[in-house]
A and B are shown apart, each in its own frame.
Chain A
Amino acid sequence: MSFFTDPRWGEALSHLPDYLGNHVRVSLAALALGLAVSLPLAILTRNRPAPRGMLLAFASIVQTVPGLALLALFYPLLLLAASVTLAWFGVSFSAFGFLPAMLALALYSMLPVLRNGITGLNGIDPALLEAAKGVGMTARQSLLMVELPLALPVMMAGIRTAAVWVIGTATLSTPIGQTSLGNYIFAGLQTQNWVFVLFGCLASALLALAVDELLGLIETGLRQRRRLRAGLGAIGIAALVAATLVPTLGRSSQSYVVGAKTFAEQYVLSALLRDRLQAAGLSATARSGLGSSVIFEALKAGDIDLYVDYSGTLWANQLHRTDIKPRAELLAELKTALAKENITLLGELGFENAYALVMPRRRAEALGIRSIADLAAHTSTMSIAGDYEFFSRPEWAALQKAYGLSFRAQRQMQPDFMYAAVASGEVDVIAGYTSDGLIAKYDLVALNDPRHAIPPYDAILLLAPKRAGDERLQAALKPLLGKIDIATMREANLRASGNDANSSPDAVAKWLWGKINP
């Protein structure tokens, strides 16, 4: 199949109104807030070197924080703020999605606006300031009639820089729940869907370029005092904003939101859940690419309505338990604990996606390694790779302790790249996932855990507190419970990791439904 006739282009295009509209909306709000804060600050500090220096230093420090980290930081900050306002004033707000993304991006936009604002206002010929006074202007009139108009082209250049930065960085707001063009990139990276990655990169680059060109038109129009040019730029910006925002307006917010974490299995399962709800006549959308800790809080707050998590993950991360219990006991205890937070554990899907130490089958056979206990003797000369959270999770500490593991080196990797890395010998062992189809594809083996250091990871369906009594929803989901065995899920995951037209989460979800409901 030709690259250009690949149906995934069409699928990507079908998401464009939603992703682009939300991208423009959060960028616009962030820029507006950033300007509303930065411009007055630039004006207030224009004749005060000390606070001006402090302000610029602060903005510069913010700029050095990586965009993803800044966005991630706002989520817990807002959660804390929301709990404080709830305790003090009895009102709470959503710390998920739009708000943290907008605040972080607004902060990110401050430096260029402040710097250019201050440069523009301080770069005015002192003779003109004297003239403004001399013709009888008050300080305020001088600011409005002389200083601001003269500084405007330089300020506009700063606004232009800020707009491009914000549009680019907004692609990173996907993991904290803000839909953006980053959804293409995150989903594409996780499911090895390069069409999506390319589409997302192109779309955000084109958006940034278009905004940059239009703001550039306004800037040169102001600089050369050509009203028509500046007007054309302004009309262009307004048209762009309108064209991208209008399709997302008037969409009902009543629909069910299915959450998904940042890996292929989650994308497939969220597509499956969404399809099931839609088949039952319920309006549903998927919100994917959410960070592992973000997603649970989002469910608790009702920002998403349902998602699939894993029993062992919640056991360690939410219940902060380090002991290991048998599968059924752990599930029962978890269900009770979640019920206290009004979260419904509807049931298990039927498979387990546990962490497992994985290595090439041939190498394991050659070394006579069948279990993690056998591996322990070799670890001092071996390297291990895991996903971004594995090495800071309690399971890793438990594993090291139970088997006395001490690897020569440990590396963090994008989950989908780990399997190829271990297959090619770049690392010796990886902390993989038992449901991953790539284990079979690369002829790898998951080592046994005879001392039960790793807890069970049953895939479980969770419902938000506000959906606890929602019978239509639960009826639509019941047919999935206990129906997906490990072999089926592995095959689904293997399909999703392919790079062809049938590997998109939507396509795999349809295949999966056909498989469990023949």
Chain B
Amino acid sequence: MPSKLAISYAHVTKSFGPLKAVDDVSLDIAEGEFVAIVGGSGSGKTTLLRLANRLIEADGGTITVEGEDVQNVDPVALRRRIGYVFQAGGLFPHLSVADNIGITPRLQGVSATDIAARVDELLELVQLDRAAHRDRLPEALSGGQRQRVGVARALAAKPRIMLMDEPFGALDPLTRDALGEDFRDLHRKLGLTTVMITHDMTEAILLADRIAVMRAGTLLAQGTPAELSKSGDAYVLELLRTPRRQVERLNALLPQGGGA
């Protein structure tokens, strides 16, 4: 295990009425790690993610971020120092790309010139052409471009931790693949700690260092893909088997070499 913990969940529970969305979950995420939380809809994976920056408040257990109990941190300050990428981008439709990206620094009172410089830096980082995109409104962007802006916005206040809620789920396969790879590079380059939610085991295996599998509010298993394959849980094994089976079928159907 790496030395310091970025996020730590200890016996965390959260219910919505009679429904136990998160049920006694303990999970440690080390600094610099890329962890994917995998599960179907209703598994509690999104709730678990949102508990970390207090978009949702836990009922029980302890959550620490960079060693501090989140209950002792002002939620607004906490959210500003953690990057969050929303499912479909979550961009504000009335603000330009530059204004969307610069929103958190603006809330922190950073000067306009510093924000402008930071926006340019970020556009380059997420590989968007500055002149073409800076002043556009989100509606004028493609899905992939929007998500790149979403990532840039989450990075604007130089967070050390990134939370991503199915960031690439709604994109076409090619864009999705390219964006995933690009983000993986950013994660490494910037030394981020990333927690990403996905329902797609293939994506989790390809991008994450470690995978946590959730089902019906409980954490079934966690570890590297290799460790997971030794899990005794039938659901976890089934999740791991599916991508491999697909690859085998693809190999059988396509001529060797994959391309035309």
Which secondary structure dominates chain A's binding surface? Answer: helix
| B52-89 interface (Cβ within 8 A of A) | 53, 55, 76-77, 79-80, 84, 86-88
In the complex, whether B235 has a CB less than 8 A from a CB of chain A is no
Chain A min CB distance to B160 (Å): 15
Across the interface, do A138 and B94 meet the contact criterion of CB distance under 8 Å? no
Partner-A contacts on B (CB < 8 A)? 53, 55, 76-77, 79-80, 84, 86-88, 90-94, 103-104, 107-108, 137, 153, 157
Question: Which residues from chain A contact B88 at a C-beta distance below 8 Å?
Answer: 127
A56 within 8 A of B: no
**Max chain B CB contacts within 10 Å: which of A136, A141, A149?**
A136
**Complex CA–CA separation, A225 to B108 (angstroms):** 26
Distance in Å: Cβ of A252 to nearest Cβ of chain B: 49
Count A-B pairs with CB separation below 8 Å: 52
Asked if A150 is at the interface (CB within 8 A of a chain B CB), the reply is: yes
**Contact, CB under 8 Å: B86 / A127:** yes
With A130-B55, A141-B107, A150-B93 known to touch, is A136 a contact of B79 (CB < 8 Å)? yes
The answer to whether residues A133 and B79 also contact, given A127-B88, A141-B107 and a CB cut-off of 8 A, is yes
Within the complex, the shortest CB–CB distance from A35 to chain B, in Å, comes to: 21
Is B90 touching A138 in the complex (CB atoms < 8 A)? Answer: no
> B-side binding surface: helix, strand, loop or mixed?
loop
In the bound complex, CA of A136 to CA of B103 (Å): 9
A153 to chain B, nearest CB (A): 10
Q: Number of A interface residues, CB 8 Å?
A: 17
Contact of B55 among A134, A138, A146 (CB under 8 A): A134
B residues in contact with A44, CB < 8 Å? none
Residues of B within 8 A of A138 (CB): 76
A135 touches B153 (CB 8 A): yes
CA gap between A150 and B93 in the complex, in Å: 8
Residues of A within 8 A of B91 (CB): 131
Interface presence of A36 (CB below 8 A): no
Nearest residue (CB) in A for B94 is A149
How far, in Å, is B219 (CB) from chain A's closest CB?
Answer: 24
Q: Is A86 interfacial (CB-CB < 8 Å)?
A: no
Closest 6 CB pairs of A and B: A131-B90, A136-B80, A134-B84, A136-B79, A149-B94, A135-B104
B55 touches A133 (CB 8 A): yes
Find chain B residues with CB under 8 A from A146 CB: 92
Q: A128 at the A/B interface (Cβ < 8 Å)?
A: yes
Q: Do residues B107 and A131 form an inter-chain contact, with CB atoms below 8 A?
A: no
A137 at the interface (CB under 8 A from B): yes
Q: Which of A130, A141, A149 has the most chain B CB within a 10 Å cutoff?
A: A130
Given A128-B92, A150-B92, 11 other A-B contacts at CB below 8 A?
A127-B88, A130-B55, A131-B86, A131-B90, A131-B92, A135-B104, A136-B80, A137-B76, A141-B107, A145-B92, A149-B94
